Structure 1
């Protein structure tokens, strides 16, 4: 399938690993020029070097909790490439977990800052560039938790529900300008974030990581029909489609890439 995005410019946040990295590699393989944003240094550089073996990537270090750094990132990308056609927001953290009554305001704020407000800042900064050119694709990474909440992950669930609503709102606001906004909702993907979760679970249970994953699937994700962690590439494939010319009639949609984990027919 010809995706029609050769020589487009994509900005990808959370790009040094996981879903962001996998998406960058797929888009680069389609001829897209990639600006990878993350707050890391060494890992970001390593990922860019890897992507440059198949295409073109450029590292931009930025803390998305800081609006000035987001604006500086835009200036760097425009100086490098002159425009931006695609924005994929993958940056995120698990945030505070546990009993609701034990989670502080500060912990709530941290999760919301990274998982919701970072997407707000990125869209507010980069959508005007796409609107000016009359063509754009925005994909925000949400989560199954947005529609199927878990009581021990309330800040994360609330933030991701906000991402879904935000994406739908944006899609209505800017479709007439040629900027198509959609979201993707993964579930239990093999990424550094879920690796850390499973490492903690294994340590707490005094068992292997493999056993921790198996018991997590059985106890915490009983509706995940495929009974395995997803692959970052499986999410990236859907994101890549949504970034392409082939998604020209897809607006305000949420694509679940969750192995069946969400038990209902909700978004």
Structure 2
């Protein structure tokens, strides 16, 4: 399916691995130009090697926890490509379960996933004079009780509320805002969750993987490409009437409240 994304430009934060990298790759396959924002030079170097030389991809080092991180990422996109039609706010931080997250854990996630996403949106809106699309990535912890990571649940829920607010505010400008909620997804975080569970429960890696996969009704983690396909669809005009929506891609986890949490991810 041609999604009509050629000659359009998109910014993907947290785009050097996992869902973000899969989204950037799919956008490039659709003929779009993509600016990838990441916190560290090391992650940018690795993503550059993964994607290879490509004239339609750029990279910018920007930490969304800093007040100027969002504007830095947006400015680099417009400077490089001269336009901006859409943004994927995907920057995240891996969180190991803790019984009582301290103030630093709350503050760090607040700065990244709420203030950071909002700063990117504020900086990008002025460049979307012909309309545009934002997709903000939340997390399944926002929709289910999480016994050890209330900060993860709270901040991901806040991302969904932020998206609905901007969807309402920007609708008359033909700018759409939607949220995608991943569940267990086969990224490097998934591998770290397995390793953490193995150590925590004294399981071998195969049993730890099965325990994590068993929390998903479909019995397996989502492939990052499955998330990317949903995200790219929401960026495209094929979803032109969709705004203020929350799209859950979790293998059915949220409709089975008896499925236990194993590990955490933000």
Whether the TM-score (by the shorter chain) exceeds 0.5 is yes
Paired residues of 1:94 and 1:156 also in contact (CA < 8 A): no
Matched residues in 2 for 1:194 and 1:117: separation?
Answer: 26
- Written as runs of structure 1 = structure 2, the 5 A alignment for 1:183-262 is 183-218=179-214, 221=215, 224-262=216-254
Structure 1 portions without partners, runs of 5+: none
CA distances 1:11-50 after superposition (whole Å, capped 9, x unpaired): 0000000000000000100011000000121331332343
**Deviation (angstroms), 1:228:** 1.0
More deviation, 208-217/241-250: 208-217
Task: Give 2:130's aligned residue.
Answer: 134
CA distances 1:86-123 after superposition (whole Å, capped 9, x unpaired): 10011111336322xx3221221112222222211111
In structure 2, relative to structure 1, the CA distance for the partners of 1:54 and 1:62 (3 Å cut) is closer
Matched residues in 2 for 1:128 and 1:52: separation?
Answer: 31
RMSD: 1.8
Matched residues in 1 for 2:69 and 2:110: separation?
Answer: 18
Paired residues of 1:14 and 1:92 also in contact (CA < 8 A): yes
Q: Please give the secondary structure, in 1, of the residue aligned with 2:228.
A: helix
Task: Give 2:263's aligned residue.
Answer: none
Q: Please give the secondary structure, in 2, of the residue aligned with 1:11.
A: strand
Instruction: State which of 174, 177, 184 in structure 1 corresponds to 2:173.
Output: 177
Compute the TM-score of the two structures, normalised by the length of structure 1: 0.90
**Deviation (angstroms), 1:137:** 0.8
Structure 2 portions without partners, runs of 5+: 258-266
Count the aligned residue pairs: 257
Compute the TM-score of the two structures, normalised by the length of structure 2: 0.91
Matched residues in 2 for 1:179 and 1:196: separation?
Answer: 36
